Structures are given as C-alpha cells and as structure tokens.
C-alpha cells in the first residue's frame, strides 16, 4: 500500500492484527495461524506524495501481492464487502 506516514500506517495494521480486528480477512487469518512475526514489512520505494498511488499501482501490477484485495490503488470498486464489514 501507499502511506504518507509509514510508521503510523504499519502501527495501525499491527495493532488491528494483534487485536484480531483487521479489515483484511485474509491477512487476519494468516496472522492468527502463523503469528505477526511471519509477516515482513518492507519499504519498496520512497517517493513524492503526489506519486503514491501511481507507484502503488506499479507494484500491485508487478508483484501481484496476495493480501491486497483491491487491485486498483486507492480504489476498492468491485470488491464485495460482508454485512459485518459494512457495519464496522
């Protein structure tokens, strides 16, 4: 993903995963089964904030990450969300 403040973004992901409240069911299941330490967090590229979504899309297309359910950077159009997710 793309973030203006990586430290805050990763911290929020970790906290949600540890508390079993992450929005990504796939990622949460992985952490529940293998633990948080099984994940690797890496900065792929530092860039200007004006280019965040362009560069995120580049890496989504290149790497085809398993945990990204949204295939278009900055948009989850076309992704069906459960009623539970909608209530959150």
7, 44, 68, 14 alpha-carbon torsion, rounded to 10°? -30
Say what the pLDDT of residue 83 is. 62
Q: What is the pLDDT of residues 45-76, one digit of tens each?
A: 988 888 889 998 999 999 998 887 677 776 55
Highest mean pLDDT among 32-41, 59-68, 74-83 belongs to 32-41
- Radius of gyration, CA atoms only, the chain: 14
Give the Cα separation of 10 and 2 in Å (integer): 11
Q: Over 50: is that where the pLDDT of 78 sits?
A: no
How far from 53 is each of 1, 33, 42, 57, CA to CA, in Å?
8, 31, 17, 6
Q: What is the pLDDT of residues 17-33, one digit of tens each?
A: 999 999 889 999 999 99
């Amino acid at each position: 993903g793309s973030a203006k403040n990586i430290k805050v973004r990763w911290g929020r992901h970790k906290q949600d995963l540890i508390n079993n409240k992450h929005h990504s069911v796939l990622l949460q299941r992985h952490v529940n089964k293998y633990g948080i330490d099984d994940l690797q967090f890496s900065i792929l590229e530092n860039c200007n904030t004006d280019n965040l979504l362009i560069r995120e899309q580049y890496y989504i297309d290149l790497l085809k990450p398993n945990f990204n359910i949204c295939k278009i950077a900055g948009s989850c159009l076309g992704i069906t969300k459960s009623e539970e997710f909608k209530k959150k």
